[in-house]
Amino acid sequence: MSPRSILLLGLLALLAGLGLMGHATWRIAGLDGESARLAEAGREAGASFEQTLQGEHATRQFAAFDQRRAVALARAGARRDRLLGLLLAVAGGIGVAAATAFRRIADEIDEARRHVEEERRGGPPRP
């Protein structure tokens, strides 16, 4: 694999990872607000049940708990996506660094090869 293709793949992975992290962070922010709203609705339903002891308030509270659980699962998925995005961005950064190092090594090898060829011809090596 050539250093150029490694560089392109590294940049692609880096950009994809950053995009995934940004999208997951945006999702987490939205889900945090929804979770706070559902927590408040659950507290209100619980307080209403305590005051009136009517079953409909308990049913509302259970529904709020189910919705909060669904939001918590969605937040866990978004956090997982953000972590995967971070890992992808780090891998892309390592790929870019490796491609840069490979390019420098290849340039050094080419320069050394030119010096050897010049010495074989009997002329002074060119800088």
> Quick one: pLDDT at residue 51?
66
Q: Tell me the Ramachandran region of residue 102: left when phi exceeds 0, alpha when psi lies from -120 to 50, beta otherwise.
A: alpha
Domains of the chain by residue range = 3-121
> Quick one: pLDDT at residue 41?
76
**What is the mean pLDDT for each group of 10 consecutive residues in the chain (127 residues)?**
84 92 92 85 71 69 83 92 94 92 91 88 65
> Quick one: pLDDT at residue 24?
93
| Residue 34 contacts residue 120 (beta carbons within 8 Å) | no
How far is Cα 70 from Cα 2, in angstroms, rounded to an integer?
A: 46
Is the pTM higher than 0.85? The answer reads no
> Quick one: pLDDT at residue 126?
58
